Amino acid sequence: MMYLIWGLLNIGLFIYFLTICFNAIKLVRREIGLFAAIVFIIGLLSFCSRQNNDDRATNSTKTWTFTSEDSLTHKPTSFLRLELERNLISKYDLEVIYRKDRNNVNIPISAYISTSGFTIGTNWSGESIFVDKTDDNNKFHYYVNGVVEWHLLGITVYTQHKTFNGTILTDKTSR
């Protein structure tokens, strides 16, 4: 519920900010002139586009690689998805790619975290992921460490550290 309230607060403040900008543009045009209003608009747009490019860079998916695929047999690659956290409007998933070695032991190859849903005002970034095989060939042990940044109009207000660990079952019928 907190994620939903935070997202709606961000949307409301952004709409209020746009209203203030339009009023400021009208005031600048009336008091200083059309050329000054155009320069003011270009300045605002350059600031907004720079902020957008920074956000796209932080939202890119980072993959952690554990084993080179070349070192394993040419058996098919398998894929696991585990829901780490679900709230009212979004969820975080751990996605693991693995393959069997020459002895038919499941070996994790790589893993990454995906975020889906309504994520306005928050940004999840994974800091580390470890996926290890266990004594049971049908299980992996995982450890995920990351940070949720709570933003208000693009400014980080709070940083929340999150840690997830446990076991994930492989598909017993995987090839």
In the chain, what are the domain boundaries? 2-58, 63-169
Task: Quote the tokens at residue 15.
Answer: 């709409």
pTM above 0.85, yes or no: no
Weakly modelled stretches of the chain, pLDDT under 70: 46-75, 172-175
The predicted structure's pLDDT at residue 58: 43
For residues 20 and 18, give the distance between their C-alpha atoms in angstroms, rounded to a whole number.
Answer: 5
102-147 pLDDT, tens per residue? 778 888 888 888 888 888 888 888 888 888 888 888 889 999 998 9
Burial class (CB in 10 A: 0-12, 13-18, 19+), 20: exposed
Name the strands in the sheet holding 122-133, side by side, starting at the edge strand that comes first in the sequence: 122-133, 139-152, 155-169
Angle at 99 between CA 95 and CA 105, to 5 degrees: 120
